[in-house]
Structure 1
Amino acid sequence: MKRSLSGIFAALLIATNAYSADLAPAEPIPEQPPEVTVSEATGWYLRGDVGYAFTDLRGARYFQGSNATEVDFDRADLDDAWTVGGGVGYQINSYLRTDLTFDYLTQADFKGSTSGQCGFPLVDCTSSDRSSLTAYTLLANAYVDLGTYGYVTPYVGAGIGGSYVKWKNLRNVACADDGSFCDDEVTHGGKGNWRFTYALM
């Protein structure tokens, strides 16, 4: 009898386990995501740029009188200015691209002053000098994209080229320090030339 009860109990356990297993919901088979094929990004592109230039005037000199002696301004300041530009480029692959850009630096005003003597008889005077510059820059650039994270693609790049810097006429007025008089305004012709330019990005 003891052996029969043990057998019945074992049979009940097996049946119960089987019954319980049948009640559990079947686990869903995970679906495999569809295979996505990403082709490399290549081709021509256009770009447009708007920026703000924080100018750094590293000294300014002028010719003193009719001689060829250059003298530093006592005070010189060049205002910041906006830049606008555009370019055309080519995406070589998903990581490498290159472009040619043309940018224009809007008018940056220059203000300076010098001290000396003027009038007759000679008295101490301070000259107030005004001018402005604009610049056109042509650069050939290359970039390495460091991957895309969401909507952001960090990159490093460099470019070389040239800038045509154009100084407009320089106007100056000398006034006596005691405020007794001012000379007539004198205008000196401006000048422009090309300069080597590079960029690190």
Structure 2
Amino acid sequence: MRHTLLHASALALLFAGGHAMAADDLLDAPEVTISAAETGTQRFYLRGDLGYAGWTEQGDASLRLFDAGTGTTDTVSFDEARFGKPFSGSLGVGYQFNDMFRADLTGDYFEGRFDGSGEADIPCAGEAAGTSCAAGERADYRATGIMANGYVDLATLAGFTPYLGAGLGVTQLRWSDVSLTTACVAGAAACSGAAAATQSFDGDSSWRLTYALMAGVSYDVTERLKLDIGYRYSQIADGDMFGSGDTSGRDDGLGRHEVRAGLRLALW
């Protein structure tokens, strides 16, 4: 009986010692913390995007011509107008407030070419009353914009996160190399037969209010890197294209429909 009690006591001591060692191991285990950066929220990020604006609206771009013979001025709307060079680029820095809201500040750049034609009801310079004047205009422009943007990330499924966004800012639109060609069109009177005249003007530069609406989806390439593909509509306010003496031109703003692709890199 005494041997049995000794064995039982030894087993009890070993069992108690094992539990004490296990408790010590638990107490000595390193602490595990989850930071904001590890959850993907509350972090700064850099972004870069390339855009393709396959459809650009210019509204009713117009040309004002003065008829010295009658002392009247006529406004020509360009019935046919198109824009070239549809590519754009932007760089920015942003902040992810939480899983749902983020904002960024971006700098945008694009350039293009405007081609338009129309017809005025007044005669070209040197032509008789009863004729009209056909006008064609070509101009290059460059645009640099600063936009403040806000986004709502809707949900994340298998690494994909759809979002909606809006932006407000300003764009400096600089017109240059404006070329205006005018030609007589016979009407109640015949044209003199003079060749079409071409004039060159220095373009105007102005800052325009700009707003944008966005929708798209991002994909988690890694924990810190996201691929962003989306659509953006931006509207730039109207302003002067050029002005010289009796002839001036004005655009009715630019509406750009863009497909954009870019990357967002979280800093920490």
Q: Same fold (TM over 0.5)?
A: yes
Determine which structure has the larger strand proportion and give its number. Answer: 2
Q: TM-score, normalised by structure 1?
A: 0.70
Query: What corresponds to 2:15 in structure 1?
Result: none
Per-residue CA distance 1:57-91 (angstroms, 9 max, x = gap): 21012221377946132524131521111111111
Aligned-residue identity in percent: 30
What TM-score, normalized by structure 2, do the two folds share?
A: 0.54
Q: Does 1:49 align with 2:49?
A: yes
CA gap 1:147/1:87 in 2 versus in 1, 3 angstroms: same
Letter aligned with residue 117 of structure 2: G
Q: Which residue of 2 aligns with 1:89?
A: 94
Could you tell me how far 1:48 is from its partner in structure 2?
0.9
In structure 2, what is the equivalent of residue 16 of structure 1? Answer: none
**Structure 2 CA distance, aligned partners of 1:91 and 1:128?**
49
The answer to whether the 8 Å contact 1:59/1:72 transfers is: no
- Counterpart in 2 of 1:181? 194
Tell me which residue corresponds to 1:33. Answer: none
How do 1:157-168 and structure 2 match up within 5 A? Answer: 157-168=165-176
Q: Which runs of 5+ in 1 are unaligned?
A: 1-36
Return the alpha-carbon distance in structure 1 between the equivalents of residues 212 and 127 of structure 2: 52
User: How far off its partner does 1:117 sit?
Assistant: 2.5
Partner of 1:131: 139
Identify if the C-alpha distance between structure 1 residues 61 and 120 changes in structure 2 by more than 3 Å, giving closer, same or farther.
closer
**Corresponding residue to 1:73 among 77, 95, 112:** 77
Choose 1 or 2 for highest CA Rg: 1
Report the residue type matching 1:129 in the other structure.
E
Larger relative contact order (CA 8 Å, sep ≥ 6): 2
Q: Distance in 1 between matches of 2:78 and 2:106?
A: 37
Q: Give 1:119 shift.
A: 6.3
CA distance in 2, matches of 1:121, 1:103: 45
**C-alpha contact 1:128 1:173 (8 A) present in aligned 2:** yes
1:154 aligns with 2:159: no
Counterparts in 2 of 1:200 and 1:82: CA distance versus 1, 3 Å: same
Deviations 1:167-193 (A, max 9, x none): 223212223447943243211221111
The DSSP-based 3-state class of the residue aligned with 2:134 is: strand
CA distance in 2, matches of 1:93, 1:111: 48
Instruction: Please show how residues 13-52 of structure 1 align to structure 2 within 5 Å.
Output: 39-41=38-40, 42-52=42-52
Alignment match, 1:102: 107
62-71 vs 159-168, which moves further = 62-71
Q: Distance in 2 between matches of 1:108 and 1:120?
A: 30
